[in-house]
């Protein structure tokens, strides 16, 4: 079962920052937060992951609260091509039974409006 | 293109027929995963391989489903006696598990293919 809670849908204006929240209140110490997105009719695409520090790459920024019970994915300047379903997943980093697979929830359907 | 490749992209089959899908992972990746996704849902885990060994299978993987990765490279997923409920997108992903000690070991991000869309009529 997915261990995360996300809003089912969000809208954002093109050019603005899109902030996607995720709750993971039962996250354990060795679990990372991963974000993937899925554009219509394509496979999921890896975006970013982090443990407790904020992370940034060329696609997005990930802000994790100090207690690690929630996080926010930030797309700084959203474009129409960012319209997709965004999945927040918690996953153990180290090799323990059952930890290898990604468990997807329903995700957030983000629509970027012109 | 050095990403995960899946073939065919689309398959339409009659109920009761057998189908086989192929996945070619990223070349150095030792882990390979199969997922199934139905309309409006997130991907659901089916099975995964570590090299050629199939290490975990979901309850979703009925006896009609079989997956292989004979040489630890490409993988096939076969569905026998297809049913209309098998209609879905079948996704393959691969990743590199780093073995050893220290902070470099463990799971890494998985990369997905474009999927094979199966329609059973």
Residue B13 has pLDDT above 70, yes or no: yes
Q: Rounded to an integer, what is the distance from CA A41 to the centroid of its chain?
A: 19
Across the A:B interface, residue pairs with CB atoms under 8 Å apart total 62
Partner-chain contact A46 B111, CB within 8 Å: yes
Pairwise CA distance, residues A19 & A84, whole Å: 14
pLDDT at B100 (0 to 100)? 56
Determine the average pLDDT of the residues in A82-108.
82
Per residue in B58-108, pLDDT (tens digit) is 988 889 999 999 988 999 999 999 999 999 999 999 988 776 554 445 567
Q: Measured between alpha carbons, how far is residue B81 from residues A24, A26, B14, B39, B92 in Å?
A: 40, 41, 9, 22, 21
Q: Measured between alpha carbons, how far is residue B118 from residues A85, A100, B19, B88 in Å?
A: 21, 26, 9, 5
Give the mutation candidate from B9, B43, B91 for the A interface (greatest A CB count, under 10 A): B43
Q: Does B41 touch chain A (CB under 8 A)?
A: yes
Q: Which residues contact B58 (CB under 8 A, 6 or more apart)?
A: B44, B45, B46, B47
Determine the average pLDDT of the residues in A54-64.
95
CB hemisphere CA count around A1 (13 angstroms)? 4
Pairwise CA distance, residues A114 & B90, whole Å: 32
pLDDT at A92 (0 to 100)? 78
pLDDT at B104 (0 to 100)? 47
Structure tokens at A32: 């990372």
Partner-chain contact B45 A98, CB within 8 Å: no
Q: Where is B73: in which H helix or E strand?
A: none
Q: Does A93 touch chain B (CB under 8 A)?
A: yes
Q: Does B110 touch chain A (CB under 8 A)?
A: yes
Q: Does B25 touch chain A (CB under 8 A)?
A: no
pLDDT at B28 (0 to 100)? 87
Q: With contact defined as beta carbons under 8 Å apart, do B57 and B49 qualify? A: no
3-state secondary structure of A15: coil
DSSP state at residue B42: -
Residue A67 has pLDDT above 60, yes or no: yes
Q: Does A49 touch chain B (CB under 8 A)?
A: yes
Q: Which of B35, B106, B111 has the CB atom closest to A94's CB atom? A: B106
Q: Which of B31, B45, B115 has the CB atom closest to A43's CB atom? A: B115
Q: Does B112 touch chain A (CB under 8 A)?
A: yes
Structure tokens at A80: 């129409």
């Amino acid at each position: 079962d997915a261990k995360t809670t996300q809003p089912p849908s969000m809208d954002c204006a093109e050019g603005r920052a899109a902030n996607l929240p995720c709750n993971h209140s039962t996250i354990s110490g060795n679990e990372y937060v991963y974000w993937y997105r899925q554009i219509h009719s394509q496979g999921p695409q890896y975006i970013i992951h982090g443990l407790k520090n904020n992370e940034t790459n060329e696609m997005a920024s990930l802000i994790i609260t100090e207690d690690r019970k929630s996080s926010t994915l930030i797309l700084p300047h959203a474009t129409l091509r960012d319209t997709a379903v965004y999945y927040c997943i918690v996953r153990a980093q180290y090799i323990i039974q059952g930890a290898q697979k990604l468990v997807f929830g329903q995700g957030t359907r983000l629509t970027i409006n012109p | 293109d050095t990403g995960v490749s899946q073939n065919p992209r689309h398959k339409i089959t009659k109920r009761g027929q057998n189908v086989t899908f192929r996945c070619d992972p990223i070349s150095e990746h030792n882990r390979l995963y199969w997922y199934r996704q139905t309309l409006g849902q997130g991907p659901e885990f089916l099975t995964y391989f570590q090299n050629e060994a199939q290490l975990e299978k979901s309850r979703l993987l009925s006896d009609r489903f079989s997956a292989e990765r004979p040489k630890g490279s490409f993988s096939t997923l076969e569905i026998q006696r297809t049913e209309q409920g098998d209609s879905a997108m079948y996704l393959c992903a691969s990743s590199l598990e780093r073995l050893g000690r220290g902070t470099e070991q463990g799971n890494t991000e998985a990369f997905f293919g474009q999927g094979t869309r199966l329609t059973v009529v």
